[in-house]
Amino acid sequence: MNNQNQQPLTKDELTYALKEERGELVKLIKQEISLPIGEKIDKMAGQIESIQTHQLKQDTRMDKMEERFIKKSTEDKNEILNSNDKLMAELKKKNEEEAAHSLSHIQIKNNLLNHEHRLQALEPQPV
């Protein structure tokens, strides 16, 4: 290597060389950064879609649970009300029977008092 053939580097030559290198470096950095960012964006889009699908499934599941809860609550309420209707019918029947029984006792008591008056009227009075 002979240093005598080489000319000193000028400022303009250095600036030109650095601009070319800088341009190539910027292009390379953009490629290196853009590719992983694009892949990450695609991956995140897939994850977002997966989350949205999962959320939709959970919403559907919750809607079905709510429908079952409402249906079961309505069935239980109807069962309770029907049971209460039966109990009220039995209570009404017992009250009517008790009222009839009480009326029967009153009639028997009245008949007994009536018989006592009639007997007193028929029995001779001691003089």
Q: How far is CA 70 from CA 29, 66, 91, in A?
A: 60, 6, 31
- DSSP assignments along 26-69, one per residue: HHHHHHHHHHHHHHHHHHHHHHHHHHHHHHHHHHHHHHHHHHHH
List the chain pLDDT tens, one digit each, 127 residues.
455 677 787 888 878 777 788 888 888 887 777 777 778 888 899 999 999 999 999 999 999 999 999 999 999 999 999 999 999 999 999 999 999 999 999 999 999 998 888 888 888 777 6
Q: In whole angstroms, what is the distance from residue 61 CA to residue 46 CA?
A: 22
pLDDT in the model for residue 1: 46
Q: Can you tell me the distance from the alpha carbon of 22 to that of 28, in angstroms, rounded to the nearest whole number?
A: 10
Q: Which amino acid is it at 10?
A: T
